[in-house]
Structure 1
Amino acid sequence: MAKKKVEIFVHIQNEKEFETIIKNKAKELICAEVFSNAFGYCTALDRLFNIIKLDWSNGKIILLKVPADEVTVLERFRDQSEPVYLFISNMKVTKVFRGVDMVRFGEVTKKELQYHSEESAGVDVGRRVYELDEPTPDELAWMSARETEKEEELQSWASRREARQAVRKRHRAELMVPHLKDLNFVVYWPHCLHAHPELYERWDANNIVMVGREMIDITEENVADIFYLGDAPLNEASLQKLYSGPALALCLRLLDDKCFTTLVRQILYEDIPPPPDDAKALAEYRRVTAFDYYKIYSPTRHEIMRQRAEDKIRRREEAKEKRARRLSEMQRLARQAIEEAVEAKKAAREQKKLELLKSGKVDELEKLKQEPEDNEVSIVIPEELSDEEVEESSEEEDPDEYFPPPGLVIPGFYSPPNDIAKSNGLAVLFPKLVHDKVTPASEFLPPHVLVMLDIAKRHKAIDAMAPHKRAIINMGIFKASSPYTSVHIAYSVKQFDTLDMDSLNLDEIKIVFMLSVVSDIPLLQLTELNPYHVSRDSVIGEEECAAMFPVDYGDDYDQFEDF
């Protein structure tokens, strides 16, 4: 007679089945593998489970396969690829094991079987148990470690992306340098706008003309772009001054064939102007460069408060003077109005006399002459202004106000020290003038993925992508088995077709596209060709594309000549 096959595992399908078996087998030792549906259950320990079930426990241990996605009390194990094993007795968790270490799992199982045997015999082993939805200390440690790993991975990814972006930003500026040789810019701090007209003659003397002028609000969002690769002292004090109001940006054009960057730096940072001939100007003359002349240092808190007090007194005196001038003007206007009113009355009296004379009414004329003149008017000359017009200052000192450290340099202006800083700053401050000379490459790439196809499909791929050329960021032909092990062969299919095919192993060669996924239609066109590899998502795609396509890829060859 054939032996009945012993089922090693009980596969749980839903929460009701799990609750039923936990309650009905409460007195038995249960070992439940908890897995996520996205990854499936593990089979690495199946041989050991056979031994545990048949040899160590004589078939008494209950082995379960439980999907965490279907059981609410186990939801903390969802979306995990690593297998987790729960030992359950009397509806309580006694031990949690994570991983597939066969030796360690065997030792843990033997101990759990021993503990269960002792507890079944009435022995108190004195160990803590946990509810099904309660994390054990080991779990908490694993969760903490996993969160730390995720954070470190995110930080690592962010740092790599930031490094790639920095390289791309620099390369973008380098491409603009040859087209912007005759342009430059100067930024004046808000407190030093008067330096522009005072330095204007120096531009004219060096054959430099102003072609653009903008009042800009510099903020934390754009300050790094404007001063990219520059040497401006962007300390706490200078930034606070820079954010305090609109700054002045000038775009200059050089009419001579010289290095514009060096020339402007020499004018502003190195040249010392000769002494003036005027005696009054000579008294104020300082033998320093323009930069040193206009720079200031951040004051102390005491100096700031003293300056504010002096400004407050000055404003009060100015208000009093303004008030006195207004009162004087009002009095003058009142007196003028009185004079005009009296003159008007006299003119009316004389007019009446003339009319009486013309009409022959001599008696009434004589009577009018006998009457005293009425020069009284109702206009009052003000002696003082009303109290409502008195300005009351409501300024109060803020105890939490921030004051930068004293002694920090606050420049009056800034000019880029190199061509890369100059090109980038011009693109930020004067984009229209830059676009007249060159169209800058996009600083930030759209979300993109990497698509690799066998080289035999190269012509079909070109035909499929012809209507979607704008979605291709880069393309090329590589000898590659993965994005991280590749050797560049050619930029285009046309270039590849001119090579000696006998020297190439075509099975190893792939045509590769760095493809924007802003629209999914181009990607769908390529997936119909059954590609060798497609990036999992745009995050992984960015890493894979960076491995195959450096920022200067295609600078020296037209990679899109196939289209």
Structure 2
Amino acid sequence: MALTSAVANAAAAAAAAGAGKKAAQVQLQAELNTDDEWNKFINRDGLLVIDVYTEWCGPCIGMVGNLKKIKVELGGDNLHLAIAKSDTIECLKRFRKRSEPTWMFIAAGQLLNVVFGADAPRLARTIEQELQNEELARKGERERPKRAPHELTPPEQEVAEAQEKLQQERRAREEAAVEAARIMRRETRACRLETHFADVCPALVMPHAQKHLRKITDALEPHGVILADKCPILLGKDGVRVLGVEEPELATEAAISAIAERPSLALLLKKTPEKDGDVIELCRRALYGDGVKTEDGAPNKKVPAEELRADSTPGVYVPADRHQRAAVLDLLFPKMVSSLVEPGPPPTAPHIALMFGAWQRRALLAVCDTSRLLHYGFFADASLTEPKLLAKNIEQYELRPEKDFSETIVLMIAVGLAAPELADPKDIPPQGPPEQLLALGPLHVSEDAVVGAEECAKFFPPGYSEPEPKPKQKPKKKKKTKRHETKEDLTEESNAQSQSIETGEPGESEAAVEGDNDGDAEVEGDVEGEGEVEEDGEDGEEQQAVDKATSPPPPAPH
């Protein structure tokens, strides 16, 4: 009896201990969502182990059991666990773009360590080691590191420096690619315009110097250059920005305010037939003194460009090379140029490729910035080397009767501007892919804009955006009918029919009717063929029930 009672009491005690343990587990892990909650928690005594997560990724649920076991067996009241949302806590902003599990170790308000990854044995060893270090620090036998929670640990600093170096290399490659594309566009445009404007050079006289036009033409005549045309022009801010790229002196605030809102005078200068040499060099020599050598000791003659300068604003501008000539011709004489040379294709902005599951198509197109979406398309799988196009837009894709979980949607996203030097700084988009797209978990993101251009060329080859030719519809056969205009025709036809009845031979009208009947049969057959609709069987009902490209793929079996 005593033994039975002892066993019962032991069982009751164990049950009570288990119930108490379960009740304690509810409070083992605090939730931190604001700066105030964070500041209160990090001032607690003991070792703090905090799981830092983002809203789109979530905390590491798989480690909760191990952490609670460690707290009960090792930490006790000296170990406190919490999960902290980096999206709403300013101190944790450096972790907002990470999807890797992150664990912070804090004691006495100081950051001790940071561990990345869901490595349970490593995390347990780190907790055990930091508990021992904290015990020694309490006894005064060990000094805690002086590091605020927002500061980087030495391993983090090494990773950050390596990532920054990698980012710098990527930016250098992207800038070099943009500059190479810009030079190629300028060279192509210059070559095309040279075929028609080899002996022509544009020039611009600023508002304050227009009264000295005669001085300009007099300086040009000895060099075999004449004034072929002139016209007033109001450049505006966009035109001044183009000029500022070609001539830095025209990009100053004084120059912009002087010529942006007041009309300037556009000149078209032409070399005379008997004069040899390049027209640009002749104009620059006459107005700027380029290439003019003076005798030793002789004072330099003041050139018209210097005489017409007002403070820091030039009075006249002449392109310095063939690239500038092409750009200024397009700016000052667009009608004349377009009548002889068609405009070049617009430049393409630096871009990358982002790949997602096709079932995410509606969410992607809903959050994507249309100004940065250059192209998109649906493909049969996630292949980057040999993509198989299924549809160029969502309307075509929705018409597909069969869809599969392996199908993907690829977005061509701009990560910069094709001509950033001509854009307003506030209109330049942030570098890198949009965060709202990254939050949806892409299957693939291009390494940088250089790699992105190569990948997008495979998904979206030249001519991708051109409309597809519509198939020609077969004309429907019409029933032939015979019209009788007069009574005489009807009488003749009835006589012919009566004769055919007497002779037993078919008349013309009867043959026509037979032919018409054959034509009717053919028309009816065509109409029936067109009107046939296959009835949906069991497969159709199943397709309507589950749209494989609207729902996420099923989880893999464990």
Q: TM-score, normalised by structure 2?
A: 0.46
Greater radius of gyration (CA): 1
TM-score under structure 1 normalisation? 0.45
Higher relative contact order (Cα pairs below 8 Å, separated by 6+ residues): 1
